[in-house]
Amino acid sequence: MGRVLFITSFKGGVGKTTLAANIAAVLARMGNRVLAVDGDMGMYCMDMALGLENAALYDIADVLAGVCTVEQATVRCDTVKGLSFIASPCKKPEVIPARERFLELFRTLRGAYDYVVIDSSAEETPYYLSFAACADDAVVVCMHQSISVRAAEKTGLRLQERGFRSVRLAVNCYRAELARAGALPTVAQMIDGSAIRLIGVVPRDDNAVTDQERGVTAFGSGRRTASPYEAAVYNIACRIAGENIPLLHNVTKPKRIRRYTRVKF
């Protein structure tokens, strides 16, 4: 059975969608069957991060309401073999489906995919709680700022109250030089402040911004050498898959793309 990953934070603007899209893409490039689900009802944008803008005819709300089948709502990503996507509606549905409908749907998805990656909203709505109830593991995304660390701590506590046994922290847009200067918290301080185990550190990288603007996910740009954010996401994906990878392995000095042996094109 597949695993369901819940990418989340109670703070907006921390890069949940970007990280969720790239984790899903790299897991797929490793040879897995992966489904990315936009769980941010009414604030959809994961389609853009995956390069699938306006490609979906139906969305997750249609599936839950019985308007269409899972297959009809699923869009395959032509640029990443093994990656599929289900969109969120542009408007939050007025009628909230019963929790059992979510659980039933994700039981089906577990049988069809190795990983299902949910991009959550930043608000603890009934939809948020229903998506969370379907997940096995949570990754709390935190920007390299103390105020974001506080939000990560709150998010982690609520998830643990909800029964999550596996909650990990992903630090986004990390700026090592400012941490060394004492202007921003160190990784150790962010772990202590959030009280969440670390799964990865993604450095601030302009390539991540420009790639997303083009709808390109990690390892899809055609660059010969990996960008720092690609190396960091690769490390996170490897850890999700059960490998032990050093924290900043190849991140400060990324390798040529062909050296990332688990990535398939």
- Around Cβ 44, how many Cβ atoms within 10 Å? 20
Residue 260 and residue 166: Cα distance in Å, rounded? 27
**What are the DSSP E strand ranges found in 50-136?**
74-76, 83-86, 115-119
Residue 219 and residue 82: Cα distance in Å, rounded? 14
CATH number of 3-259: 3.40.50.300
| DSSP per-residue letters across 14-67 | SSHHHHHHHHHHHHHHTT--EEEEE--TT---HHHHTT-TT--SSBHHHHHHTS
Q: What token pair was written down for 131? A: 């998506």
- For residue 38, CA distances in Å to 78, 116, 182 come to 18, 11, 37
Residue 227 and residue 203: Cα distance in Å, rounded? 10
Give the predicted TM-score (pTM) of the model. 0.96
Name the DSSP letter for residue 259.
G
* pLDDT score for 96: 86
* pLDDT score for 11: 93
Phi/psi at 242 (nearest 5 deg)?
A: 100, 5
CA-based R_g, the chain, Å = 17
* pLDDT score for 32: 98
Residue 27 and residue 131: Cα distance in Å, rounded? 20
* pLDDT score for 91: 83
* pLDDT score for 90: 84
**What are the DSSP E strand ranges found in the chain?**
3-8, 34-38, 74-76, 83-86, 115-119, 137-143, 166-174, 197-203
* pLDDT score for 40: 93
Residue 73 and residue 240: Cα distance in Å, rounded? 26
Residue 262 and residue 99: Cα distance in Å, rounded? 37
* pLDDT score for 44: 85
Mean pLDDT by 10-residue block, N- to C-terminus, for the chain (265 residues)?
96 95 98 97 90 93 95 96 95 87 97 97 94 97 97 96 95 97 97 97 97 96 96 97 93 94 88
